[in-house]
Structure 1
Amino acid sequence: MLVKDLINHIQDIAPLNYAEDFDNVGLLVGDNNSKVTGVLVTLDTLEEVVDEAIAKNCNFILSFHPIIFKGLKSITGKNYVERTVLKAIKNNIAIYAIHTALDNHISGVNAMICNQLNLKNQRILIPQQQTIKKLVTYVPKKEAKTLREALFNVGAGDIGNYSNCSFNMDGTGTFKANDNANPTLGKKGETHVEEEIQLSVIFAKHLESKILKTLFETHSYEEVAYEVTTLENTNQTIGMGMIAELEQPQPETEFLNYLKEKMKVSHIRHSQFLNKPIKKVAVLGGSGSFAINAAKAAGADVFVTSDLKYHDFFTAENTILLADIGHYESEQFTKNGLVALLTKKIPNFAIVLSNTNTNPVKYF
């Protein structure tokens, strides 16, 4: 398997189209045409992780966080980023970062936290905007079924728990081919009238090139009339954070002890207790202060996240319990989840879980 083939599998899991604009994701180091001997999955890529990849005969590192985040003007080994990149290049090891593409995935980082906490009724906390598109096209009646099925087969027509969704309306199309045309229906220089179906389907934005390729390959017309628009509809499967529920309500102190046990943390920074039971839980792995108001609006009893600053705790405003469990701690199960997702995708390939603890924060 080549690097580019492996990347296609990774992007089937978490398309880079849904990564945040500020992020630096994708192939950061390496050659698309190199052969992959094995994949090491890690939360962070450091020199020690590159050493581990070498020892385990893995020349591809799938990293959650990007080792290159800001622009590099030189690579001389003067800091940990440059030393890591240099070591990877010297040993022909590719580095791929997935970061917020996985953060925004329905089965990504936040689903992994929810699963670790055994939370039920999981749904996206902050749906990403403008991720749903609509295709409208016009096709001869006798071809409509074939075109519909072809579009369904490449992912069009999925709405929540439903697939093969479309809208079809009978109509009459007219067109006149000029001397340079090669019409499949009608004659040059004559206005042709054809009974057509107006076919509408929605699709996820990362599928657009595949949808249009299928449309052009399947449709019989030389010139295909179509429209693609971006919808404002809420996407149920793409976005930051999740909100879910405990099986049974728990008192606040009992929940925090449960949180410490399940997330394997020794300390939790939290806002003032509200003396009310915890049932609805919002989570956001990594730095999540931007989602406090969304958690409150969703009616969460507690918001589990990390990297909260002093003044962030005031925004609880006696309406929600804020629980900061630490950045690494909130994302520590991500690499395990990635291994499971990738192994399911390519079961007969060497996918290795990194044993290196990359947490830079220590507790005394």
Structure 2
Amino acid sequence: MTVNEIAKVLEELAPLAHAEDFDNVGLLVGDPHMEVKGVLVTLDTLENVVDEAIQKKCNLIVSFHPIIFKGLKRLTGSNYVERVVLKAIVNNIAIYSMHTALDNSKMGVNAKICEVLGLKNPEILIPRAKSIKKLITYAPTADAESIKLALFQAGAGEIGKYSNCSYSLEGIGSFKAGDNANPTVGTIGEVHFEKEAQINVIYSFEKEKAILSALFDAHPYEEVAYEILTLENSNQDLGMGMIGNLDVEMGEKEFLLLVKQRMNASMVRHSQLLDKKVKKVAVLGGSGAFAIGAAKSAGADIYVSADLKYHDFYQAENQLVVADIGHFETEQFTKDLLVDYLTKKIPNFAVSLSESITNPIKYL
């Protein structure tokens, strides 16, 4: 398989279009057409990880965090980022990053945290707004079903657990073909009236190119009339953080000790305990101060995240317990998730879990 082919498999889990605007995801180093001999999955791409890839004969590193985040003006090896990139290039190793594309995936980083903590029926904590679009098009009634089928096959009409969703209206369309036109129906220079169906389907924004291509290929008309609207609905299958429930409620301290044990955390920083039972838990891997308000609004008893500053803990306002277990600790199981995913998708391919230690934070 090539780097590109493996990237397409990864994009089925986390489309790059789902990444945040500030992020740098996808293939960061290497030839997309290079044949891959082995894949090494890591949380961070550091020099020791590149050395591990060389030792294990892996020429593709799939990393959660991007080693190149800001623009590089030179490659002289003067800092750890430049040294990693140079070593990868010299050893013909490609580097692919997923980061917030995987953060926003319903089966990504936060789903893995929910799994480790035993949270049931998890849902997206902050669904992505303005990521659902609506296509309205018009076609001869006789061709409507075949056009809808083509749109469905391209990914349109998916709502939660349902697929092939659409809405149609019938009416009369009119047009007059000009001198250089090649009309499928009607006569040049004459107004033609045609029984037509108005077809309405929704889709996730990243599928637009494929859906429009399917529309143009399937539609019989020389000129295809269509409209695209961006909906205000939030996408319940895409977004940051997750919230789920414990099978059996427990005390706050008991739950925090459970978090510390299951997430291999060296310490747990938390806001004032409220002497309440914990049932509903919100989580967000990585830096999560921005989602404290969403956790409160969702009725979470405890919010587990990382990188919280002193004043962030005040936002708990005695409505929930806010807990910081460390950035690495919230995301460490991401590489296990990716190894499991790739092993199932390409079972006859060499996929290795990195053994390199990349957490830069140490505790006394």
TM-score (norm 2): 0.98
| Equivalent residue pairs, number | 364
Task: Give the Cα separation in 1 of the matches to 2:324 and 2:358.
Answer: 19
| SS state at 2:236 partner | coil
In structure 2, the residue matched to 1:145 is 145
Runs (4+) of structure 1 exceeding 3 A deviation are none
Q: Deviations over 1:245-302 (max 9, x none)?
A: 1011100111011111211223111111100001100000001001111111111000
Task: Give the Cα separation in 1 of the matches to 2:346 and 2:197.
Answer: 40
The percent of aligned pairs where both chains have the same amino acid is 62
The code of the aligned residue for 2:25 comes to: V
**How do 1:5-24 residues align onto structure 2 when only pairs under 5 Å count?**
5-24=5-24
Task: Give the Cα separation in 1 of the matches to 2:140 and 2:208.
Answer: 22
| SS state at 1:37 partner | coil
Indicate conservation of the 8 Å contact 2:13/2:107, yes or no. no
In structure 2, the residue matched to 1:198 is 198
The code of the aligned residue for 1:313 comes to: F
**How do 1:207-218 residues align onto structure 2 when only pairs under 5 Å count?**
207-218=207-218
The code of the aligned residue for 2:150 comes to: A
**How do 1:332-347 residues align onto structure 2 when only pairs under 5 Å count?**
332-347=332-347
Task: Give the Cα separation in 1 of the matches to 2:7 and 2:120.
Answer: 32
The code of the aligned residue for 2:316 comes to: A
1:237 CA displacement: 0.5
Q: Deviations over 1:117-140 (max 9, x none)?
A: 110121111111111011000111
The code of the aligned residue for 1:135 comes to: L
- More displaced stretch, 183-192 vs 240-249: 183-192
| SS state at 1:238 partner | strand
| SS state at 2:233 partner | coil
In structure 2, the residue matched to 1:155 is 155
- More displaced stretch, 254-263 vs 78-87: 254-263
In structure 1, the residue matched to 2:3 is 3
Unaligned residue ranges in structure 1 (runs of 5+): none
Task: Give the Cα separation in 2 of the matches to 1:16 and 1:114.
Answer: 23
| SS state at 2:207 partner | helix
Q: Deviations over 1:58-105 (max 9, x none)?
A: 111110000011111111111111110000000011111100000000
1:342 CA displacement: 2.2
TM-score (norm 1): 0.98
Unaligned residue ranges in structure 2 (runs of 5+): none
- More displaced stretch, 83-92 vs 312-321: 312-321
Task: Give the Cα separation in 2 of the matches to 1:125 and 1:274.
Answer: 22
| SS state at 1:69 partner | coil
In structure 2, the residue matched to 1:77 is 77
Indicate conservation of the 8 Å contact 2:274/2:321, yes or no. yes
